[in-house]
Structure 1
């Protein structure tokens, strides 16, 4: 991610209007718009694989999975992020016609060299400010490795690591799958 050269201040409403017509995506951090970098082939494949699994899994339930282009708003911090994937089961999100959600249960980020430190650090810290947020998943794209963090209380997040041969569990939505399914069609890239 790179911060725009002009450090103009935008209100959240101005950001949403500009983002609606912008040819590139931006995250919003307390008045600053931050341009999003493009994704690698591996990143797109992993996100697509997981999105397909979750859309099918959640079909007919009160949950919905959003991939790539849905913003998560953190109103307390005045922030909008574009996670790689987010799941909400909150009726307020499901009934809203806004192009963002506020109550995600599960957020997934596919790690890249340029975003890994931010995804693990400040971004995760910001997501924790949302009481609806129960689970954070980091998927590596250069090796078969998934890290999951499950909220047990406001200040206690339990880490779980999954490697080749593992069955992954997202307990916030009761989902399981073989880790190999996430990395399907990537053998030539790993």
Structure 2
């Protein structure tokens, strides 16, 4: 038996659908993908990061946003919702709805068992096509582990890791030192 043909839609059809949907979806190369929900641990980590980063950035040039702000990468067609993103330049949006950002400086994803491989691999490949992106940070929700990618001047990426609660890492774009014990506070 042959597989039924996949119906591809346009960016405009996706945005019209997504803006009225009760659920969130990624869009890539004409196809829509339902995004999974987040675990309790994921939500604690995201909340910790949002409080720390948001407080640190208060009154500064850069702004942080949570997972309800969509980004778009025109070079590869991806529309997605990072867990946390930071914008340091004037925000650039797809259109006048102001709900789809084009120029994040930092993207933070909180890894779960269902999305970890995608976030570490294919999604990072897609994110690297964002010219404004300077850092990509992955925080594991099932173990104490942070993977930090920093873009170099020659457009290569340097990887560093933190694996102990006493370890720190720097969000270089905003000069913020984060200690893993603060990131994982309340997570058992």
User: What is the root-mean-square deviation in Å for CA atoms of aligned residues?
Assistant: 1.8
Question: Can you give the 5+ residue segments of structure 2 that lack an aligned partner in the other structure?
Answer: none
Please tell me whether the aligned partners of residues 171 and 178 of structure 2 are also in contact (alpha carbons under 8 angstroms): no
Q: Structure 2 matches for 1:2-17, cutoff 5 A?
A: 7-17=6-16
TM-score normalised over the length of structure 2: 0.91
Q: Structure 2 matches for 1:50-69, cutoff 5 A?
A: 50-69=49-68
1:14-42: per-residue Cα shift (whole Å, max 9, x none)? 11111111111000101111000111100
State the 1:154 CA deviation.
5.2
Taking the aligned partners of 2:98 and 2:5, their CA distance within structure 1 comes to 27
| Number of residue pairs aligned between Structure 1 and Structure 2 | 183
SS of the residue 2:181 aligns to = helix
Taking the aligned partners of 2:23 and 2:110, their CA distance within structure 1 comes to 19
Q: Structure 2 matches for 1:87-126, cutoff 5 A?
A: 87-93=86-92, 97-126=97-126
SS of the residue 1:104 aligns to = coil
Taking the aligned partners of 1:162 and 1:72, their CA distance within structure 2 comes to 27
Q: Structure 2 matches for 1:25-104, cutoff 5 A?
A: 25-93=24-92, 97-104=97-104
1:111-158: per-residue Cα shift (whole Å, max 9, x none)? 111111111111101110111000000101111111100000454110
Question: Can you give the 5+ residue segments of structure 1 that lack an aligned partner in the other structure?
Answer: none
Distance 1:97 1:60, change over 3 A: farther
1:53-82: per-residue Cα shift (whole Å, max 9, x none)? 111111111211111111111011111111
Taking the aligned partners of 2:5 and 2:59, their CA distance within structure 1 comes to 46
Taking the aligned partners of 1:52 and 1:128, their CA distance within structure 2 comes to 26
4+ runs deviating over 6 angstroms = none
Bigger mean CA offset, 26-35 vs 56-65: 56-65
SS of the residue 2:105 aligns to = strand
Taking the aligned partners of 2:91 and 2:82, their CA distance within structure 1 comes to 19
